[in-house]
């Protein structure tokens, strides 16, 4: 019997769907058969172009705008997605705000507030908006995109790493709260990943970083998306509460 990832008939929402990693997740979930709600905050043109690409493959696709850091905006997104595609079976919380990294003594307090909104509160808002329909259905997949930085805790990472650690706590608690409904809650934690930007700029290699990685290379955006698709599928039906590093062994959770 062949084993394959088949998401046919399912609707997936990817926040930050036009970002470097998000667009590859969107394409990969669509390749597995899912219809897509492509969330964006400012890149409307990119979202529309990505949806046109998916529709050319025979998928239903919807561009949806919103600030994931505010609950009213996320509830408005839910209404748009329900009307256009139906309630999502799969939610991927990939959006995150970009900030300047500084030491704790030098960082502006707004950096911490910004990262809290787009990492911790995003997941709270999307859970409130989309998990009830999963409970009613008796099945669902909620996948947060975390980071290896959550375990590294290197200088200048404090605002980002603190927010992602908060996200980790939210999603592990959520996994226990909704597990009885056969809803899985997992996290994918990329390392420093090669994206289209690197390919365009010729910056795929970084020997200093690669030296710290067990596999001695940087991962690719497709390798991240592959794990997202796996966790979204029935192949991962008995995995929940997991933090899955996809970083070539640069960080390794222990027992």
**The two structure tokens encoding residue 185:** 């809650």
Secondary structure E strands in the chain: 11-14, 35-40, 61-65, 90-93, 140-145, 183-190, 243-246
Joined together, the tokens standing for residue 112 give: 């911490």
Measured distance CA(57)–CA(192) in Å, rounded:
30
Number of residues in the chain: 255
Phi, psi of 117 (to 5 degrees): -65, -45
Q: How far apart are CA 194 and CA 3, in angstroms?
A: 28
Which residue do the tokens 């998306």 mark?
Answer: 225
Residues annotated catalytic, as ranges: 160
Quick one: 171 exposed, middle or buried, by C-beta within 10 A (0-12, 13-18, 19+)?
A: buried
């Amino acid at each position: 019997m062949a084993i394959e990832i088949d998401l046919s008939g399912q609707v997936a929402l990817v926040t930050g769907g036009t970002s470097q990693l998000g667009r590859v997740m969107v394409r990969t979930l669509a390749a597995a058969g899912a219809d897509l709600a492509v969330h964006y905050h400012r890149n409307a043109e990119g979202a529309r172009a990505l949806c046109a690409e998916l529709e050319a493959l025979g998928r239903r696709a919807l561009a949806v705008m919103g600030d994931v850091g505010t609950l009213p905006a996320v509830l408005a997104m839910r209404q748009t997605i329900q009307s256009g595609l139906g309630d999502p079976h799969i939610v991927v919380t990939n959006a995150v705000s970009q900030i300047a990294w500084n030491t704790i003594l030098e960082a502006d307090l707004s950096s911490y507030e910004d990262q809290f909104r787009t990492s911790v509160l995003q997941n709270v808002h999307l859970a409130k908006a989309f998990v009830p329909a999963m409970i009613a259905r008796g099945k669902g997949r909620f996948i947060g995109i975390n980071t290896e930085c959550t375990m590294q805790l290197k200088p200048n990472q404090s605002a980002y790493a603190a927010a992602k650690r908060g996200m980790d706590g939210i999603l592990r608690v959520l996994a226990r709260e909704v597990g009885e409904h056969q809803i899985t809650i997992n996290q994918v934690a990329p390392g420093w990943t090669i994206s289209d930007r690197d390919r365009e700029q010729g910056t795929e290699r970084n020997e200093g970083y690669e030296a710290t990685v067990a596999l001695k290379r940087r991962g690719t955006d497709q390798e991240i998306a592959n794990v997202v698709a796996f966790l979204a599928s029935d192949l991962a039906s008995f995995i929940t509460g997991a933090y899955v590093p996809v970083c070539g062994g640069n960080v390794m959770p222990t027992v």
